[in-house]
Every structure is written in C-alpha cells, then in structure tokens.
Amino acid sequence: MQDVNGKTGIFGIIGHPVRHSLSPAMQNAALAACGLNYIYVPFDVHPDRLGIAVDGLRALGVSGFNVTIPHKTSIIPYLDVLDESAEAAGAVNTVRSENGLLTGFNTDGDGLLSSLADDLDFVPGSGTIILVGAGGAGRGALASLCRAGAERVVIVNRTFEKASELSGLLRQRFADTDIIPVGTAEEVRPFLKDTVLLVNTTSLGMNGEVIPFVALGDMRADAKIYDMVYAPAVTPLLRHASELGLSCVNGLGMLAGQGELAFKIWTGVQAPPGLMKRVLATICIV
C-alpha cells in the first residue's frame, strides 16, 4: 500500500455491488510497483445515484475510474467524450478525467485480444470465430475481434433476436468482417470445421452450467477455446476442451489485460508485464 500524503491522486471503480471487485488489488499493486503516488479505491454507487456520483468524482478531481456492472452503459450520458472503443462496444469500463473533462473508453475487448495473444497465441485473421452470447460482454468482444481483422464471426445466442440485432449493429461499423447470427447448435455445426476459436462471453459455467450450443468434439484439433469466466478457474467448458486436447484458457488474463490498458490510459505508464495477472492468480478462489 502506498503512503498517502497531500499529493496523492485517486483512481477508483464504481459498481453495485463492488465489494467483490479484484481491480483494487491488482491496480494498487501496479501503482506501488511503478512508484506512482496514487491509490485505487472501490466506490459502491447505487444506480439511482449514478449522476450525482459522477459529478462528485469530477468535482473531487479523481483522476480516472473503472466502471462495472450495472453502470457500463448507463454512465454514457454523464460523460463528455466517448472514445471509439466505447462507442463500438456500446459500453464504458474506463473513464479518464483531465481537469474534469471525462472521456469514456472500453478496454474489455482489447483486454480479450491481449489475453488471446499471450495465453493462446491467437491473433484474429482468417477462419471462423464462434462467439457464444450477445450481451454487453459479447458486443465488446465482437467489436475488438472485428477491429483486429477477424474474417468471420458466428454469434450464437439463446435469444436469436439479440444475436441478430448485434450483428446488424456491428456490420455497419465493421464491413470487412462477415458476422453471422444463429440461435441453435444445428445452425452452428456447418461452421465447426473452419472454426479456429470459440469465445464464451456468457455467465454460463459460473455455476457448473455447460454450453449447449457447440459440440466441441466436432471441432478441429487445433481450435482454441476462451472462456471469459474465471471463477471457477476450470468451467465445464474448459474441462471438456482439455479432455479433448484443445488449447483453452479462462478469463483471468482478460481481466488483467483490461486493467493494464486502463492503467496505461490513466498514467501513461505500462504496468509491469504479468504483475496484475500474478496478483489475480494469488487471490482468485480456484
């Protein structure tokens, strides 16, 4: 923990609830390692008080903050500027304050890309990516995968209409990616032989649920599996993928990756590589 003095700057995270957030631990570790005179604190902000809270953070000169559930979209009207990352994702997870001017960013999608590269040696390009889920996390992931050059993304979602709506929205922005919405395992099957990556963006697996949409056994032997869920560390999806010999990893690296990118936006400094992930690994219940 940093010594707090009259010059100490503040970063934080707003959410509701926020007590389970792992960001304070990893951000404070990085601030201390870099010798920066800041602290990072959690703020539990009820949805009814979001506007007042944002005004308060602005007035108090808080230098930047993360935004988590349930505020990622509802915060947008209270910000002054939106970065393209936040516009495309339709959500903000990082806010920078410069003399009270608040700019919203989204580092979740690029955190996913950095984890894909570091943990699975995967870079979007040719081949099909299957994205499970069409919620907020799915949209952020889709935007970053398209921006990074994915050739084709098949979105499979329980509610087909949401997959269809998301496809329509992002096709307008990323015309070079073939985005295909589907709603059933049968519709996914024809794409499996060309699938290089599957990403679970839903909460399925947090409580032992299996992913009903994809027959992993029909995938290519070199296909890779990314599960955004990180608690438990081994979800049924990851256990099954491992049994089949597929490369797979959980979402801890994405959590660290989005944090490293937020840290760089706020401080201009690169957090020590791997530090945030090591901190997370020591505190995560596996």
Please report, as ranges, the residues that interact with ligand ATR according to CB under 6 A: 133-138, 157-159, 162, 201-204
Q: In this chain, which residue has its C-beta nearest to ligand ATR?
A: 135
User: Which amino acid does the sequence have at 285?
Assistant: I
Minimum gap (Å) between residue 179 Cβ and ligand ATR: 15
Q: Shortest approach of ligand ATR to residue 156 CB, angstroms?
A: 9
| Annotated active-site residue in 72, 162, 224, 277 | 72
The nearest distance, CB 183 to ligand ATR, in angstroms, is 9
Helices 252-267/23-33 angle, 10° precision: 50
Per the DSSP assignment, residues forming a β-bridge with 131 are 155, 199
Q: How far is the CB of 28 from ligand ATR (least distance, A)?
A: 25
Which of 37, 203 has the CB closer to ligand ATR?
203
Residue 72 annotated among the catalytic residues of the structure: yes
For ligand ATR, give the closer residue by CB, 62 or 113: 113
SS (H, E, C) the chain: CCCCCCCCEEEEEEECCCCCCCHHHHHHHHHHHCCCCEEEEEEECCHHHHHHHHHHHHHCCCCEEEECCCCCCCCHHHCCEECHHHHHHCCCCEEEEECCEEEEECCHHHHHHHHHHHHHCCCCCCCEEEEECCCHHHHHHHHHHHHCCCCEEEEECCCHHHHHHHHHHHHHHCCCCEEEEECCHHHHHHHHHHEEEEEECCCCCCCCCCCCCCCHHHCCCCCEEEECCCCCCCCHHHHHHHHCCCEEECCHHHHHHHHHHHHHHHHCCCCCCCHHHHHHHHHCCC
Is residue 82 within 8 A of residue 103, CB to CB? The reply is yes
> Least separation, in Å, of the C-beta of 134 and ligand ATR?
5
Whichever of 124 and 181 has its CB closer to ligand ATR, that residue is 181
Of 112 and 204, the one with the shorter C-beta distance to ligand ATR is 204
The residue (of 53 and 204) whose beta carbon lies closer to ligand ATR is 204
The residues annotated as belonging to the active site are 72
